[in-house]
């Protein structure tokens, strides 16, 4: 994979005058990719199961491409290089209640095949129950040569917490950087969270972002329930909790963090 020096590098603290959902998505994607590159133990944990080598990370945001003459701009590009060989992936990120778009993901699969990217990755607040599932309908013929994988934001928050607290990060500075990503992902002001309401049938539904002022006027029973989200944690988060020897302590910490967020 040949990169271009003009590609925008993912920054841990991105600077932008833009506001709104797209700007929040850009900041979150940039922070995530920057930490994957800055903390290789975390990046390897995420990408090794997808076939990436343990090598040097390069991460970029909103790289402009063209597909059949039309502009295509994925939220991120990841390149991992080792011994002269590279593994690369495109990334699409959605926040709050915004879902992945089938046309967009199918276009990224076409782009990946044309430019020889090995994977298309996505992250949103949509959940899957196994590593072989995908949260939206896509053309399965396009994944014969290209790996397609999805994380929920809570998956990534869980992975980052397990890496820092249990697997460990050898470099103290890198451990601090990963801790800052955890703090960012856990804060509802990042725009990452999808607020949940409860219908008359007792089933949760997405409400979109809820401001503190709006939340203060809502009945306690209708506030975003992160405990409810706990029961919806994907197979991946659940298996991580079981894989660490002190899962009960970890779960208690996550529950305390969620209780804190629910009070905001």
Quick one: pLDDT band at residue 24, thresholds 50, 70, 90?
confident
The token pair that represents 146 in the structure block:
């290209």
Residue 98 scores a pLDDT above 50: yes
Residue 128: left if φ>0, alpha if ψ -120 to 50, beta else—which one? beta
pLDDT of residue 3: 63
Tell me the pLDDT of the chain averaged across its residues.
79
Q: How far is CA 229 from CA 28, 190, 191, 197, in A?
A: 20, 18, 16, 11
> Among candidates 171, 151, 162, which has minimal Cα distance to 33?
151
pLDDT in tens, 160-192: 999 999 999 999 999 999 999 999 999 988 877
196-198 vs 65-67, strand pairing mode: unpaired
Q: Please tell me the predicted confidence (pLDDT) of residue 16.
A: 67
Residue 131 is given by DSSP the state T
How confident is the model over 195-229, as pLDDT tens digits?
Answer: 544 344 444 344 444 444 444 443 433 333 343 34
Rounded-to-integer distance, Cα 253 and Cα 214, Å: 27
- Tabulate helix, strand, coil % of the chain (nearest 5): 45, 20, 35
Count of CB atoms situated within 10 Å of the CB of 223: 18
Taking residues 141-153, report their average pLDDT.
Answer: 95
**pLDDT tens digits, residue range 41-73?**
999 999 999 999 999 999 999 999 999 999 999
| Pair of tokens at residue 81 | 């290089």
CB 59 within 8 A of CB 36: yes
Helix (H) or strand (E) holding 55: none
Residue 197: helix, strand or coil by DSSP?
strand
In this structure, what DSSP letter does residue 98 have? P
Whether residue 169 contacts residue 42, with contact meaning beta carbons closer than 8 Å, is answered with yes
Of 148, 103, 99, 105, residue with least CA distance to 125: 99
Sign of CA dihedral 123, 125, 126, 129: positive
pLDDT attached to residue 234: 43
Percent with pLDDT over 70 in the chain: 70
Task: Give pLDDT, residue 35.
Answer: 98
For residues 237 and 96, the model is more confident at 96
Among 225, 234, 221, residue whose Cα is nearest residue 255: 225
pLDDT (0 to 100) of residue 219? 41
As assigned by CATH, the class of the 21-155 domain is alpha beta
Predicted local confidence at residue 188, as pLDDT:
85
Q: What is the H or E stretch that residue 212 is in? A: helix 212-216
The average pLDDT across 23-31 equals 91
pLDDT at site 21: 83
pLDDT of 118 reads 97
- Name the pLDDT band for 256 (thresholds 50, 70, 90): low
> Residue 200 contacts by C-beta under 8 Å, 6 or more apart in sequence?
none
Task: Give pLDDT tens digits for 118-138.
Answer: 999 999 999 988 878 999 999
What are the boundaries of each domain within the chain? 21-155
Confidence at residue 53, expressed as pLDDT on a 0 to 100 scale: 95
Higher-confidence residue: 201 or 90? 90
């Amino acid at each position: 994979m040949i990169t271009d020096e003009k590609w925008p590098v993912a920054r841990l603290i991105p600077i932008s005058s833009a506001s709104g959902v797209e700007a929040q998505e850009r900041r979150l994607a940039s922070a995530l990719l920057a930490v994957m590159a800055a903390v290789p133990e975390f990046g390897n944990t995420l990408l090794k199961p997808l076939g990436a080598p343990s090598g040097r990370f390069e991460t970029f945001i909103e790289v402009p491409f063209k597909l059949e003459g039309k502009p295509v701009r994925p939220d991120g590009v990841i390149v991992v290089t080792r011994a002269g060989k590279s593994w690369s992936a495109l990334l699409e990120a959605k926040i709050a209640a915004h879902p992945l778009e089938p046309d967009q993901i199918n276009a990224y699969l076409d782009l990946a095949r044309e430019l020889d990217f090995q994977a298309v990755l996505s992250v949103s607040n949509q959940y899957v129950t196994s590593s072989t599932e995908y949260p939206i309908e896509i053309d399965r013929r396009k994944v014969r040569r290209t790996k397609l994988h999805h994380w929920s934001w809570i998956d990534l928050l869980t992975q980052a917490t397990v890496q820092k607290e249990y697997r460990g990060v050898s470099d103290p500075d890198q451990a601090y950087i990963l801790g800052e990503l955890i703090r960012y992902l856990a804060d509802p002001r990042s725009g990452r969270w999808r607020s949940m309401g409860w219908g008359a049938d007792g089933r949760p539904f997405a409400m979109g972002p809820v401001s503190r002022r709006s939340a203060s006027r809502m009945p306690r029973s209708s506030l975003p329930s992160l405990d409810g989200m706990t029961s919806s944690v994907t197979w991946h988060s659940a298996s991580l909790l079981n894989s660490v020897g002190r899962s009960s302590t970890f779960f208690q910490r996550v529950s305390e963090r969620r209780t804190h967020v629910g009070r905001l």
